[in-house]
Amino acid sequence: MIEPVTTIKKGLNIDAIRSQFPILNREVKGKPLVYFDNAATSQKPQCVIDALVNYYTHYNANVHRGIHTLAEEATLAMEKSRDAAQEFINSESREQVIFTKGTTEGINLVAETWGRQNIGAGDEIIVSNIEHHSNIVPWQILIEEKGATLKVIPVNEKGELVIDEYRKLLNPRTRLVAVNHASNALGTINPVKEIIDAAHKAGALVLIDGAQSTVHLDIDVQGMDCDFFAFSSHKMYGPTGVGVLYGKKELLEAMPPFQGGGEMIKEVTFEKTTYNDLPYKYEAGTPNIADIIAFKAAIDFVNGIGKRNIKQYEDELLQYGTGQLKEIPGVRIVGEAKEKVSVISFIVDKLHPQDLGILLDNYGIAVRTGHHCAQPLMDCYRIPGTVRASFAVYNTKEEIDELVVGLKKAIKMLS
């Protein structure tokens, strides 16, 4: 049977991609769902859902310790996910891929282990003004404990980091620079290579929060030369509750463990415990086996389409959406950086984002409203928040048209 092809975008068959996401068939408030909250979490393709069901149906067992068949199958599948993740971000070795609950846990792991060991009174940590709270609060907890200081890279009107100011912040007391690869609130892609090189020259390490970039951009941790890189599965079509922390080997080996428990030990006596090798040293307790296994299905899904194809198509949506929204009187785009992932944040003159979000939901359109866990940024722009539409590879221009129609209606009702 020949598949019906109605929308072909430079080699991408969007209808075929959409058909892999069962949730896109549902209705919300009697209207077909338009899901534009992908920066919060993306929907899951059938292959990811199947991988979860398949694990629980056929080979559910605890990993790494059992000698029975099921345990072996589960262990093998879980470790295959690690290999896939290693390749996905081009890590030097599989041992440097540590499974976490998500980006937040990855960042907290670094703060609690490397941070507690290496940050002292008077030391400085640099973050940016467009960070998610997850990449601010762990460092605040750390500096408070250690008597260190937090410095902030400013952001310009377009939503870009002011790199000249960043360079001025670097000094011999700078121990760590923690910035995102792409901003969840605005979509800005940060010049991470430049940031990393400058930090290294100043003798500081760099943690990159890859939560928003990993689904859109090619990730090469070696090429980037970052010291730590954290990301989440659920923002890249995978299950919730899984993330990866990548770290440079010598750092991961030197750092103390994060949590104590099973799996992370070699020998335990009441006198002394020796810790397991990487990556298990940082994976105490029974891991999130099912979701880690299904995470590989998500990686395969993304690789199957190709990140560059995804980015190219999403760029088209971004451009189209930005153009369409700008034509609506009163709409102002917040964040117009030259380099962006497919996120459009906007506000409408005199109207509250929450009102717009409620009415758009009423038309079946899911957007995010509020401060997007980036209150310092909203304060900087003196706005209570924005409406954010963020696109994935399964979104279409027709859906953007729906947003435009819905938004016009909402504005009319509220004005």
Partner 1 sequence: MGDQKKIEQIEAEVKEEFSLFDSWDDKYEYIIDLGKKLLPLEEKFKIDENRVRGCQSTVWLVADHKDGKIFYKAESDAVIVKGLISMLIRVLSGQTADDIINARLNFIHEIGMTTHLAQTRSNGLLAMVKQMKNFALAFKLKQAAAINN
Annotated active-site positions, please?
373
Q: What's 371's DSSP letter?
A: -
Structure tokens at 260: 């104590």
Number of residues binding to partner 1, judged by CB under 8 A: 17
String of contacts with partner 1 for each residue 374-393, x by CB under 8 A: ----------xx--------
Question: Considering only residues 79, 370, 375, 376, which one is a binding residue for partner 1 as defined by CB under 8 A?
Answer: 370
- CA-to-CA separations, 413 to 29, 221, 289, 355, 410, in angstroms, rounded: 18, 48, 48, 10, 5
State how far the Cα of 68 lies from the Cα of 198, in Å rounded to an integer. Answer: 51
**Does the protein bind partner 1 through residue 406 (CB under 8 A)?**
no
Least distance from C-beta 35 to partner 1, angstroms?
Answer: 17
Instruction: Centre a 10 Å sphere on the Cβ of residue 118 and count the other Cβ atoms it contains.
Output: 16
Contact between 133 and partner 1 (CB under 8 A)? no
Nearest approach in angstroms of CB 243 to partner 1 is 21
Helix 289-305 × helix 307-326 angle, to 10°: 80
In terms of CB distance, is 262 or 370 closer to partner 1?
370
Closer of 251 and 414 to partner 1 (Cβ): 414
Work out how close the CB of 355 gets to partner 1 at its nearest, in angstroms, rounded to a whole number: 5
Q: What share of the chain is helix, strand, coil (3-state, %, to 5)?
A: 45, 20, 35
Which residue's CB is nearer to partner 1, number 61 or number 366? 366
Round the CA-based radius of gyration of the chain to a whole number and report it: 22
- Span from 11-19, 265-273, 287-295, 407-415 in contact with partner 1 (CB under 8 A): 407-415
CB of 33 to partner 1, least distance (A): 15
Minimum CB–partner distance for residue 235 and partner 1 (Å): 19
Cis amide prior to 384 (ω within 30 degrees): no
CB of 379 to partner 1, least distance (A): 14
Distance CA 170, CA 202 (A): 6
Distance CA 246, CA 85 (A): 10
Q: Given the complex with partner 1, which of 289 and 356 has the nearer CB atom?
A: 356
**CA 323 → CA 310, 314, 327, 336, 393, distances in Å?**
20, 14, 7, 12, 19
Give least dist CB 123 to partner 1, A. 34
10-29 mask for partner 1 (x: CB under 8 A)?
-------------------x
- Smaller CB separation from partner 1, 25 or 354: 354
d(CA 406, CA 362): 9
- Return the structure tokens found at 197: 């090189």
Per-residue binding string, partner 1, 73-112, x by CB under 8 A, is ----------------------------------------
Selected from 38, 174, 180, 369, the binder of partner 1 by CB under 8 A is 369
CA 159/CA 40 separation, integer angstroms: 19
Applying CB under 8 A, which part among 44-52, 164-172, 240-248, 406-414 lies near partner 1? 406-414
- Cβ distance to partner 1 smaller for residue 163 or 373: 373
Which residue type, as a one-letter code, is found at position 221? V
Residues 6 or more apart in contact with residue 28 via CB below 8 angstroms: 361, 364, 366
Q: At closest approach, how far in Å is the CB of 352 from partner 1?
A: 4
Q: In the complex with partner 1, which residue's Cβ is closer, 201 or 408? A: 408
In 206-226, which positions are buried (b, 16+ CB within 10 angstroms) versus exposed (e)? bbbbbbbbbbbbebebeebeb
CB 213 within 8 A of CB 182: yes
First to last CA, the chain: 51
Task: Considering the complex, state which of residue 287 and residue 385 has its C-beta at the smaller distance from partner 1.
Answer: 385
What is the pattern of x (binds partner 1, CB under 8 A) and - over residues 26-65?
A: ---x------------------------------------
Q: What residues from 345 to 364 belong to the interface with partner 1 (CB under 8 A)?
A: 351-355, 357-359, 362
Chain residues binding partner 1 by CB under 8 A are: 29, 351-355, 357-359, 362, 369-370, 384-385, 409, 413-414
